[in-house]
Amino acid sequence: MKFRDGMWLVAEGKRVEYAEEVYSINEAPDGKKITLLCPTMQIRSRGDTLNRPTLTVELEAVMDDILSIEVTHWHGAQNKGPHYDLFPSGRPDVNAIIAKTEQGTTISAGNLSATVSSAPHTFDIRFHSKDGKDKLTSLLNRSVGLAYDPATSSPMQTADMREINHYILTQSTLSVGEQVYGLGERFGALNKVGQAITLWNADGGTSSDQAYKNIPFWLSNRGYGVFIDATEKVDLEVGSERCSRVQTSVLGQRLKWHIIYGPSPKQILDKYTTLTGKPAKVPTWSFGLWLSTSFTTDYDDATVLSFLEGMKARDIPLQVFHYDCFWLRAFHWCDFVFSPKHFPDPKASITRLKASGLMNKVCVWINPYLGQASPVFAEAASKNYLLKRKNGDVFQWDLWQGGMGIIDFTNPEACEWYTSCLEKLFDIGVDSLKTDFGERIPSKDVQWFDTSVAPEKMHNYYAYIYNKVVYEALQKRYGKYEAVLFARAATAGTQQFPLQWGGDCESTFEAMAESLRGGLSLGMCGFSFWSVDIGGFEGTPDASIYKRWVQFGLLCSHSRLHGSNSYRVPWLVDDDDKSEQGCSAVLRKFTQLKCRLMPYLYSEAMESIKHGWPVSVRAMAIEFPEDKTAWLCDQQFMLGSSLLVAPVFDESGEVEFYLPEGKWTSFWDGQVVEGPKWVKETHQFDTLPLYVREGSILVLGREGEKRTTWDWTKDVEVKTFFPNGKSSFRLVDPDNKELATITAVKSDDDWNVKGAEGLAR
């Protein structure tokens, strides 16, 4: 939302009042917070203190290297929930210091400081490293304010605020060359400078400025990140109102955000996920291939069996079979009952399929909506489990399902009831759940069971509580570390309930690229696990697009074949081409490659969740923050810390990608390329650019491996790639217990590995 018309004028219809000076500074007794009283004009006489708004700015040391900034106009305004659950694993101690000098007052948290200038009649707050080496960002003149829309002409008008919108806004400075990343799974340009972004979950596909996963966190290439502690709609102008500032605004009387000092991206993400929650561990079987029925396709027991047998006949290892929406009866979504016409005995069928070895686990699609045609709607409505309108009616509309209602997860009894419905699915043999939707949550004319929450704050936050309820139900049944979701909607903290997938993309190379940008952006917001609809969701991919998407999708942390109105089994895409360049052969090769990578991949995953890093589709800048070119790369990614992947986005097989400094070894043929440099290659469908970083140690399964879980001390090989004194790899088992720590040791003029003695091929 723009509040100004260029630099000089206020936008038509708006009135803005800015903090013009710091009138007084009060220090909290615990020495961790300072409070600034900031009038909206410079106070030069006693009369200037009258008839004038003031803004309160609180700077607090939250934990080492994190300071919070809260701006408030009227303190008497209710601060309704929901609020983000910060420090879910416990709040660390903070080394807070407040110091006063002639230049100003400085509050420090660990290595991060904010200095409030003591210059008279000035509003000037500078954020910097404690040693002064790194200058991060600032709040300068006309950078903190309140705004009215429509504009008021007299303070008397604010006696009735029912028709007046009140905003709080801040504008932090952007330095020369500064770039901004993150803000959720966004599908446009990776660098957000120049974009106007609204953080408001929406079911808008992957080809617009709407997003399923709006995360109020952004990361700067200058060594800091910002977490906006606001569950409501947040509007950002990232260098798009004033080119040298990031403007953040909310509708209300207060705005709070945290600045997080890294200085590296990895350190920033580690601290950010300490604040909002670390991603949880996922089971090894979930890393294997998932196959879906697709959305509106016609399928039954016989169809499922034919797909599974077809995959086995083509030697394509499959871990999970997913039943999408139409496992339910039409108009009965989501009532948790298999369609008796298509699946007369689902428990027996699932039991047989698992026993046959055709698949390992079962996933089914669910959402938090109840169509009124189903008996469970009446049950939920009668027990007050559904969201209501302000007049007491159940909130209903005909969007998606006829007369559908929305589960009210602010009602603890509704959560228990919903969990009991899920438990009936677990009894049948369902192991995982695709938690679809959760974005279209109304914010007008609604009344939640918990009257302490504000409807506009529940819109984004609903994704958090919905996925939390389902995830905890899975944990309760299968164990803490066996739970895994396939979730679409998210907000800050939802990374604790993995995993998330990229939503409804088209079956095109362009959609494949925009999906990658979405995954890269989400990974820069503390989400370790991410997947995508291999082949694209909307439309029917041709063989070229399908195979290139298979390559990309099997090198994501999680991999699922899924579509809308067409199947995604490979033999139906290319008329069962049995050549080595056919769809089945490509899917087989890359599925087996992922299985082979499991000792490396899983160990990297355990390190990633410890710090809140993305496992795959890891932005190049996370690994190479000193390389300016790495910050610009949006068509390639790192898989863990050692493997570089460049998907092919062209039917010709031509691809151009960037290799940072060092020696890079092709995974396929051992060819070595010295970076930094841009490289052009042409690939058939059985390869893509996959390079190993200099200094890497990889523990790999045997070629043709079909398992995701086995004893990783056996049937493995240890490979080194130009090892050096920093080369090290910690191999863990599926319980995250250390199997080996492998390091490189120099002997004479050669390097050998140490610590791999217990590993046998």
> Tokens representing 559?
């991999």
* Integer CA distances (angstroms), 654 to 349, 516, 552, 650, 688, in order: 45, 18, 15, 6, 10
**DSSP H or E segment with residue 690:** strand 690-693
Catalytic-role residue among 203, 324, 431, 504: 504
Cα–Cα distance, 581 to 275 (Å, whole number): 47
Considering just the CA atoms, what is the radius of gyration of the chain in Å? 27
433 backbone dihedrals φ, ψ, rounded to 5°? -135, 135
**DSSP H or E segment with residue 136:** strand 135-139
Whether 376 and 336 have beta carbons less than 8 Å apart is answered as yes
Identity of the amino acid at 308: L
The overall longest dimension of the chain from CA atoms, in Å, is: 88
Whether 131 and 111 have beta carbons less than 8 Å apart is answered as yes
Cα–Cα distance, 39 to 23 (Å, whole number): 7
Tell how strand 750-754 and strand 672-682 pair up. Answer: unpaired
* Integer CA distances (angstroms), 306 to 302, 303, 622, in order: 6, 5, 43
Scanning the structure block, which residue is given the tokens 């209501």? 388
Q: Which of 551, 566, 557, 555 is nearest to 507 (CA)?
A: 566
188: CB partners within 8 A, 6+ apart: 195, 209, 514, 517
Cα–Cα distance, 400 to 378 (Å, whole number): 18
Report the DSSP beta bridge partners of residue 729.
742
* Integer CA distances (angstroms), 45 to 55, 141, 307, 646, in order: 19, 21, 81, 64
Omega of the bond prior to 39 within 30 degrees of 0, cis? no
Opening angle at CA 195, ends 193 and 196, nearest 5: 135
DSSP 213: B
> Tokens representing 267?
């350190």
Q: Which of 534, 546, 461, 538 is nearest to 501 (CA)?
A: 534
Q: How many CA atoms lie within 13 A of 538 on its CB side?
A: 13
Identity of the amino acid at 400: W
215: CB partners within 8 A, 6+ apart: 182, 183, 184, 185, 199, 490, 491, 492, 522, 525, 526
Identity of the amino acid at 600: Y
Identity of the amino acid at 488: R
Tell how strand 750-754 and strand 738-747 pair up. Answer: antiparallel
Cβ-count burial 447-468 (b if 16+ within 10 Å, e if not): bbbeeebbbbbbbbbbbbbbbb
Catalytic-role residue among 232, 270, 431, 439: 439
Scanning the structure block, which residue is given the tokens 């394509």? 316
Q: Torsion-angle region of residue 87: left (phi > 0), alpha (psi -120 to 50) or beta? A: left
7 CB burial (10 A radius; 0-12, 13-18, 19+): exposed
627: annotated active-site residue:
no
Cα–Cα distance, 729 to 641 (Å, whole number): 10
60: annotated active-site residue:
no
Q: Which of 145, 200, 238 is nearest to 463 (CA)?
A: 200
660 backbone dihedrals φ, ψ, rounded to 5°? -65, 180
270: annotated active-site residue:
no
Instruction: Supply the residues annotated as catalytic.
Output: 436, 439, 504
